[in-house]
Amino acid sequence: MKIEFVASSGAAEILALLVHEGRALAGTGPALDQAASGALVKAMKNSRFNGAASSSLNVAAPAGIDANAVLLVGAGAADKLDDLAVETAAAAAYQATKLSGAEVLTIDVSHLSPELAARAGFAVRLAAYRFAKYLTKQKADKIPSVTTVRVVTSDVKAAEAAFQPLSAVADAVLFARDLVSEPANILYPAEFVRRVKELEALGAKVEILGEAEMQKLGMGSLLGVGQGSVRESQLAVIQWNGGKEGEAPIAFVGKGVCFDTGGISLKPADGMEEMKWDMGGAAAVAGLMHALVGRKAKVNVVGVLGLVENMPDGNAQRPGDVVTSMSGQTIEVLNTDAEGRLVLADALWYTQDRFKPKFMIDLATLTGAIIISLGLEYAGVFTNSDELAANIADAGPKVGEKSWRMPIPAEYDRHIDSPIADVKNMGNGRAGGSITAALFLQRFTNGVPWAHIDIASTAWVKDSKNPTVPDGAVGYGVRLLDRMVADHYEG
């Protein structure tokens, strides 16, 4: 997708104009003459279109507008036109026209700030994401025709400048979505790290630990999960030092289960294919690092990815096995399908042990129970730090990635005590399944301020209502944490 910022719309194929609730044409648009705007208002009055967010109305271009067609795009309430509202409108404009046959879509936001114009371009990049690499017989009319979006702005230079960091974030979200979309026969731990190595070209430092190195470090918990797979487990360590020299980094840790069969505690066949995206946490952390490095964020930051495949096999770990984690704590593995926490136990311990970070945030498609608790639009946030809770809560609404803070009550900690080891990898039955998972992780944080974001609910979307997020891989967490870092931890 090509995004261009231009000072005037010129002769447009499709010209998109913003309309607010109540059928109010936004701004002056292309300095519409009265007859033209009168014709547009008339067209709206003959339809149900009233300017609601995400809706649009296609009309023939009236005389006085140099375009083949006009698309009226709902931008919601006029007094609530923030970043997100402009993003939604621009993305909706793209979704409504992408298969029209037109190659160029022109979106006129010349009455808005150049920063908001940049947001429009950013949103179109996210909206235009497709994972089509394995479609070899696509029908021509199913392939988007729009390949260029021109954003009309009052200040081209300022819009281009504002677009630069946003475009880096878009690159990062698309990078994460590609990782999440790939099937597990293509994206296994070694392939994942090959793709993460691409971040070196942007300026990141990337180290890879294989099974032998992890063995030396005593990561029996992570290695136990991968031992039933023919694919070698990997730990990826991504560093970016854009902040003050010597200042302690902030750290992000991702669950990267490239496929989760459940292991010997095998999952049912129905829907098991979804477990190709059980590496969504690691993809989000890789994407976040991509964003921070790509826009040269002024922060010292480390991203750690625990990458494994959870398979049933003659060599797989068994329910009841006891493994020794890098922390020294022993773990009774009651259910081999509660594997994400076993991966994170060693990844979290390693991260705090080596980097002494100011805080750690892990992202993980950790529990089905979070979907039961919160439904499919909110991720669950578990943290022992009110500061992290506040900063995550602050960033979410700005980028449209929703989350809800969950409790991690100390009273429940005994539910993961084991009679034969220091801890067991699930609670008693299914009660509070997301909470006992978080309590398990907490035992491997060594007191470092920490937040855990359970994204099992939000990593993948079906039947999306958000035009900036097409169905499939969301890349959830990249924008959320990029924004949190930008607003609270840079400079």
- Binding ligand BES by CB under 6 A: which of 85, 102, 124, 426? 426
Does residue 261 touch ligand BES according to CB under 6 A?
A: no
209 DSSP 8-state letter: E
Q: Terminus-to-terminus CA distance in the chain, angstroms?
A: 32
- Binding ligand BES by CB under 6 A: which of 87, 160, 332, 339? 339
With tokens 């020794």, the residue in question is: 324
Whichever of 325 and 425 has its CB closer to ligand BES, that residue is 425
Whichever of 272 and 393 has its CB closer to Mn ion, that residue is 272
Whichever of 204 and 456 has its CB closer to ligand BES, that residue is 456
Enter the tokens of residue 293: 């490095």
Least Å from the CB of residue 262 to Mn ion: 5
The distance from CA 209 to its chain's CA centroid, rounded to whole angstroms, is: 25
Does residue 281 touch ligand BES according to CB under 6 A?
A: no
Does residue 309 touch Mn ion according to CB under 5 A?
A: no
Where is 72: in which H helix or E strand?
strand 67-74
x/- mask, ligand BES, residues 53-92, rule CB under 6 A, reads ----------------------------------------
Enter the tokens of residue 483: 């924004």
337 is in an annotated binding site: yes
171 is in an annotated binding site: no
Does residue 401 touch Mn ion according to CB under 5 A?
A: no
Q: How many whole angstroms separate alpha carbon 369 and alpha carbon 360?
A: 23
Enter the tokens of residue 356: 């002494």
Task: At 426, give phi and psi (nearest 5°).
Answer: -155, 165
The active-site residue out of 119, 231, 341, 443 is 341
Q: Backbone dihedral region of 15: left (phi > 0), alpha (psi from -120 to 50 degrees) or beta?
A: beta
Whichever of 191 and 260 has its CB closer to ligand BES, that residue is 260
Task: At 445, give phi and psi (nearest 5°).
Answer: -100, -10
Q: How many whole angstroms separate alpha carbon 75 and alpha carbon 486?
A: 26
Question: Which residues between 304 and 343 bind Zn ion (CB under 5 A)?
Answer: 340
Q: Which residues contact 14 (CB under 8 A, 6 or more apart)?
A: 67, 68, 69, 70, 71, 97, 100, 102, 104, 105, 106
Residues 378, 277, 339, 385, Cα dihedral to 10°: -30
Q: Is residue 267 annotated as a catalytic residue, yes or no?
A: yes
Least Å from the CB of residue 339 to Zn ion: 6
Q: How many whole angstroms separate alpha carbon 414 and alpha carbon 342?
A: 18
- Binding Zn ion by CB under 5 A: which of 87, 191, 260, 454? 260
Q: Is residue 45 annotated as a catalytic residue, yes or no?
A: no
In three-state secondary structure terms, 21 is coil
Partner interacting with residue 191 (select from ligand BES, Mn ion, Zn ion, none; CB below 5-8 Å by kind): none
Least Å from the CB of residue 278 to ligand BES: 4
Partner interacting with residue 368 (select from Zn ion, Mn ion, ligand BES, none; CB below 5-8 Å by kind): ligand BES
Taken in order 48, 51, 56, 62, is the CA torsion positive or negative? Answer: positive
Whichever of 25 and 459 has its CB closer to ligand BES, that residue is 459
x/- mask, Mn ion, residues 24-63, rule CB under 5 A, reads ----------------------------------------
Least Å from the CB of residue 474 to ligand BES: 12
Enumerate the H helices of 365-476 as residue ranges. Answer: 369-374, 386-399, 433-442
Nearest Cα to Cα of residue 276 among 185, 385, 406, 151: 185
- Binding Mn ion by CB under 5 A: which of 87, 337, 346, 454? 337
Whichever of 106 and 233 has its CB closer to ligand BES, that residue is 233
- Binding ligand BES by CB under 6 A: which of 335, 373, 384, 446? 335
Q: Where do contacts with ligand BES occur on this chain (CB under 6 A)?
A: 260, 278, 335, 337-340, 365, 367-369, 426, 433, 456
Residues annotated catalytic, as ranges: 267, 341
Task: Mark the binding-site residues for Mn(2+), compressed into ranges.
Answer: 255, 260, 278, 337, 339
